[in-house]
Structure 1
Amino acid sequence: MKPILNPILLLCCCFYLNIAFSQNTQTPSNRQQAVFTVRGSVYDAEFSKPIPQVNIEVNGGAYTTTNMAGDFRIQVKNGDELVVKHKDFQTVYYTIKNNERIKIEVRANKGLSEQPKRIQALSFNASIDSAETYLKTDIEKSLQFITEALSKSRSINENAQVYEVLGDLYIFWKQYDIAISNYRISLQSVSTNAVLLKLAKAYWFNKNYQESITTYKSIKKLDLSNWQQVVLQEGLGDTYYSIQDYSNALKAYNSALEKANQYKIKAKITDLNSKIAQVFSETGNDKEAAGYFNNALTLASQETKSRAVEEKVKVADFKNRSRNFDNEIELRKQAIEDLKDIEIDSTIGNESSLTIQKQNYKIGNAYYLQKDFDSAKAYLEKSIDEASEKNDLVVAKDAKRKLSEVYSSSGEYDKALETYKEYTDLVEALYIKKEQEIIQAARFSKEIAEKQNRITSLESDRQLSESKYQLTSERNKRQQLIIYSLIGGLLLLMVTAYFMYKYIKQQRLANNLLALKSLRSQMNPHFIFNALNSVNSFIASNDERTANRYLSDFSQLMRSVLENSEADFIPLEKEIALLELYTKLEHFRFQDKFDYEITVSDNVVVSDFQIPPMLLQPYIENAVWHGLRYKTTKGFLSIKIDKKSHSEVTITITDNGIGRKRSKDLKTNNQKKHNSQGMSNIKKRVSILNDMYQDKVAVTISNFQELEDTGTHVEVTLKKD
């Protein structure tokens, strides 16, 4: 922008409803006002050009500057005064009155407007603002507006903004892996500290802890605002805390607290006192923990009632761990009274730790630990009534079990038995509910993935259209050269052929990845269904203790399966751990049918090898369910991992069951069809992976012995990367 001497400014501000609230969003009536991020831009009205390096400051608070596109973001509260300074125009002052986007245009003129003027919203910004408005309430509408914004995007800045909002959407709906992808796409267009912080937080949500730490450490601290410096250190502390690196967690939290005190960021001061207290509590330093918890409790009482209740519950949990039950009970009773007031204005979901039924349950448990059985009964019954009213089966189940223990401890064995039977009924009801939730979650994830694919396709089509336009323009420019030079035409043909070859190669890779994802998605439901049938058989036989133990191992197995389900390859040691757990569960059910042995040769370094997830499990499942299960005598399953060469390892799965031929003769037509599809999926996965990774996996299947029970021998060969 050209320097303007003695300018008289015309300030034009256009506002768009587009605010990204901080973690501690609060209502205007609260004593501690909400901190939020306001977006804005500064333009030279005369030349319609953005003005970079404009100083943007909040009096007594955050500071930032505009980027090369003239855009800025800054943390503010309602009532803050925004100060806009630059050497080429007079300082502009604006008071934040609501949560709207700000656009400032400066130009030489004869007068200064008294108030900012509202102008018509641009179509792209209107779509983005609408997407953010529906982000937390209607995912369908939000995605629709994001799609519209992407189609209207005309710059890399707008593209980056679309994918940032898309990442925010998936974070809220707990689709963390998809959120990570979209934040990374946003950063490929425009790299900003705000999005880097969000990406690091998304890695933390998705339990990619090392990636989270690396991302946090890659951010240049000198470029951060005061608020962002606190957020960065707090995020690092959260990540270190999650991996139980309490020393580094405490160091990061203390650094964040020091900066929060320096910049008077009150909401963060409360949170950080609480988190430091939790670190001290985990490391057994109860005296220091108590001091920080008291600080957090005092500060939280000056904020919203919901924040105060949250801190009371945290301190109560700490009192429980230190066996200070009287203080715990008093804090929980106060929390219940506050929660009754909060529930008048808002609904607290059953998944929250701040529910009345959970607090009554924990009070009852505290009385039980004090051997005050009458008080324990009263509060546990309150918890059961409240949980039943709110359809909270988890708390109702736990309270019933604890109440049965109280009756047993107080000598009322008939009531204890009756209550325990009610507990077992709730366990069965909860199992059914959880099964339904798993199905609903799978359906929701599938719908989300389809919508993300549509958005990705739209972006691909847009890029393809741009590429076609650029290619057409390039050809037009070279038409004259083609007329005068055959060499130029031949060169153009070769370039075009190269790009076509590259495009076809990329499409083939994309098709392979899509096919792999589809095959994995077919394997997981099949595996889950069979495992759930095993759980169901235990529950049907009223073997509740066995079912609980089986469910515990099954949940651990499911966590491992789902964590690995998106990867083409995982470390062999992870697959071995998964096989050990799965085989243990199958032996647990059919222990009278077979014994098993898993051996790994000493000369095999399992960390050197990678294997497709869930590749071996179906073969073990077939061995147990279709071979050993029908054997008249007790069979044996052997899983061996041996070194074949310096770059290859073999995994053999051997059983002395009835064999493939007799097993096939025993099956119904429906079972034959089901098995055929399952084994076909495995063959397709191996074929696609070998095509992509150059024959990395080989599988052979043969009879194990020449006896009546021929058994089955499966040999899998893996190569190093």
Structure 2
Amino acid sequence: MLFFAVSTISTVHSQEITGENKNNIATILQERPSTIKALETALKPALQDTLVLTYFIDSSKKRKYHLGEAFALNQLGAIYQKKASFKRAITLHTAALSASELAVNLEIKVFSLNMLSLAHLRQNSIQSALDNAQSALFLAKEIENPSDEIKKNYNTSLNLIGNIYKTLEQWEHSIPKFQEALELEKQLGNNMGLALNYQDIGESLEAQGKLSEALINYNNALFYNKNIGSSSINIKSNLGIAHIYVHQEKFNEGLRILESLLEPAKKLGNMELLSELYINIGWTLIHLMQNDMAKENLLKGFEIAQNYNFNNELEEAYIFLSDLSAKEGNHEASLNYYKRARSIERKTLNDRNIRYVADLIYRSETEKKNSQIEVLGKENEIVKLKLRKNQTTLLISGFALALLGGILYILFYQRQLKNEKQLLTLESTMLRSQMNPHFLFNSLNSIKLYIINNEKKNAVHYLNKFSKLIRKILEASSVREISLADELETVQLYMNIENIRFNDEINFEVVVEKNIDTHTIKIPSLILQPFLENALWHGLSGKEGVKHIELRVKKENIYFTNITITDNGIGRESSERIKKNRIIKRKSVGIKITKERLANFSKGYQNSFTFDILDLYDDENRSRGTMISLNIPVI
């Protein structure tokens, strides 16, 4: 079908191709260049002309010049990638891969695999992008005495794999890939490859809040780009520098750079970059209190993003419009913009998770994993149905009681309804925090790495633990209280899963004193996980060396059972300093929700649930960690 469409287009428009182009194509078909570089040189005047490329594809197919056919299909696919028409680009690159098989040319095959990987990556098809990049890497590595072009394609595959990890926010895997490609590009003296990898390293470092290091890499990218003159690299690297300046409160310098990039971006025709520039200009103008100009630029960026379905830019525009509306006192508009941003974020996460899980299930090829995913989906639907049923019941009951009761009874009922709604909101919020999309996605991604590395035993082991954890979370979310024994089992599973992402560096120990019967002690469901999450991400994630968390249960007195969670992390003071320097900040709402749940739950007891957060110091007044002390009342 693709070839029929290409042939038809070529026939319809052939009369519009100039004689010069026809003569040039006839010469190429007669000489039949055998390398990509030679073809690129021969077709250089028409590399961005879709009409000429289509005519060349048709002519190459008729002459069975499959190398030229594959090359032109890839060039046409690249044009559609720039226009964000990724499905059409994937179709063209797939056709180019088929033509490369007929050409029996490894150079064009590796090139086609890389182009196909890039298109899948931009469409967020992570597994397909990784498969094609790894195939290209394998083919290029197996070639004896590779040419410089093969070496460049090998480095491109490394860069693509780095970008895949960057998309997954796995900086510890992405940056080494970029650095490996960087060293190989230095050996080749390939300024284009050097500039691209320095730019990607800069973006990865900026995302981690390492602004000074990111700035150095962006400047390195611009240095090597001087010899190339790539508009795309120039715009992206300068955009990164401007972004850093704004974060450093150098608003005027950042604005000057951003405004200078508008015209080059328009000439380049990259609408995604243009949308991002307008949005960042609007964001900078908000800081400079130029609200009218800020809104004008934000709306320009928003309009482009909406027309081309750029979800990341749409979400960013909504967030900044929300901030601007709040500053202008229009809180209703601010809330509406914020809700739209969150809606796009949820859709993006869901789309990516669904696509990723689908790939994982397909490649695992085990009925057990399929059934586990299905069970989780059904249990999730049951919870949703119960919530809807409860909400409907509450509304109907409230309406009936309002008709039958007097004014005093109505006031009393409204107060009770408010308490119940608060409890339902707290439980629902806690469940969402337990079922956080980032946690689910990152946990599945960690298991996926075992599959990729052919560690099937570990993959099955941790997938079983993950499914059991999700099942226990869903079961616990439907009850008000559970036994301490069940809660300890749940947090043990949670720590096992989280420990994968810490390379099993964390020593987690549960100590229960002999005079404690954990089966008779009742606590609010899912109450301990937020404390452990805080210890992991704020205490231990920034610590070097041995990492330890101890959960101890003991009898405080006849009225209380005491639970302590002690970590040997960096302490709250150091954690707060690191948090302020981060660009992407991890929201810590779990402790606040837990405090509200404990206060609400205490209404059924004579004494109240209490907890304290204590900073631990050694003899030299240096931080040696944090301890959470939770007192549970005895009925």
Q: Give the whole-Å Cα distance in 2 for the aligned partners of 1:439 and 1:361.
A: 20
Distance change >3 Å, CA 291–CA 579, structure 1 → 2: farther
Distance change >3 Å, CA 633–CA 272, structure 1 → 2: closer
Q: Which has the higher helix share?
A: 2
Please report the TM-score for the alignment, with normalisation by the length of structure 2.
Answer: 0.51
Amino acid at match of 1:123: H
1:260 pairs with 2:216: no
Match of 2:176 in 1: 214
1:183 pairs with 2:133: yes
Query: Match for 1:550 among 427, 431, 446?
Result: 431
Tell me the alpha carbon deviations over residues 289-320 of structure 1, each in whole angstroms, 9 at most, x when there is no partner.
Answer: 54134212222245318545522311333454
Residues 474-493 of structure 1: matches in 2 within 5 Å? Answer: none
Unaligned runs of 5+ in 2: 1-5, 7-26, 51-58, 142-150, 392-420, 451-455, 504-517, 529-635
Query: Match for 2:116 among 147, 166, 177?
Result: 166
Out of 121-130 and 214-223, give the one that drifted further. Answer: 121-130
Residues 57-456 of structure 1: matches in 2 within 5 Å? Answer: 70-72=35-37, 96-99=45-48, 120=63, 122-123=65-66, 125-126=68-69, 129-130=72-73, 133=76, 136-138=86-88, 141-142=91-92, 145=95, 148-149=98-99, 152=102, 154-191=104-141, 192-194=151-153, 195=156, 196-219=158-181, 220=184, 221-261=186-226, 263-282=228-247, 285-287=248-250, 290-304=252-266, 306=271, 307-320=273-286, 322=287, 324-325=288-289, 327-336=290-299, 347-349=307-309, 351-354=311-314, 359=317, 362-363=320-321, 365-371=323-329, 373=330, 395=337, 397-398=339-340, 442=354, 446=358
Q: Secondary structure at the match of 1:99?
A: coil
Match of 1:404 in 2: none
Q: Secondary structure at the match of 1:589?
A: coil
Q: Give the whole-Å Cα distance in 1 for the aligned partners of 2:520 and 2:490.
A: 29
Residue 441 (structure 1) shift: 7.1
Residue 234 (structure 1) shift: 0.2
Q: Secondary structure at the match of 1:207?
A: coil
1:533 pairs with 2:495: no
Distance change >3 Å, CA 533–CA 142, structure 1 → 2: farther
Tell me the alpha carbon deviations over residues 463-520 of structure 1, each in whole angstroms, 9 at most, x when there is no partner.
Answer: xxxxxxxxxxxxxxxxxxxxxxxxxxxxxxxxxxxxxxxxxxxxxxxxxxx54x5533
Q: Give the whole-Å Cα distance in 1 for the aligned partners of 2:321 and 2:170.
A: 36
Match of 1:589 in 2: 478
1:598 pairs with 2:451: no
Please report the TM-score for the alignment, with normalisation by the length of structure 1.
Answer: 0.45
Amino acid at match of 1:331: A
Q: Which has the higher strand share?
A: 1
Q: Secondary structure at the match of 1:598?
A: helix
Match of 1:651 in 2: none
Q: Secondary structure at the match of 1:202?
A: helix
Distance change >3 Å, CA 637–CA 588, structure 1 → 2: closer
Q: Give the whole-Å Cα distance in 2 for the aligned partners of 1:447 and 1:231.
A: 29
Match of 1:662 in 2: none
Match of 2:368 in 1: 519
Contact in 1 for aligned 2:133/2:160 (Cα 8 Å): yes
Distance change >3 Å, CA 292–CA 533, structure 1 → 2: same
Distance change >3 Å, CA 338–CA 350, structure 1 → 2: closer
Residue 243 (structure 1) shift: 3.4
Which is greater in Rg? 1
Distance change >3 Å, CA 70–CA 234, structure 1 → 2: same
Q: Give the whole-Å Cα distance in 2 for the aligned partners of 1:275 and 1:597.
A: 45
Q: Give the whole-Å Cα distance in 2 for the aligned partners of 1:575 and 1:328.
A: 53
Unaligned runs of 5+ in 1: 1-16, 18-40, 51-68, 77-81, 83-92, 102-116, 385-394, 402-426, 454-513, 614-627, 640-721
Tell me the alpha carbon deviations over residues 260-306 of structure 1, each in whole angstroms, 9 at most, x when there is no partner.
Answer: 34654444333222212323444xx212x541342122222453185
Give the fraction of aligned pairs with identical amino acids, expressed as a percent.
10
Q: Give the whole-Å Cα distance in 2 for the aligned partners of 1:584 and 1:601.
A: 10
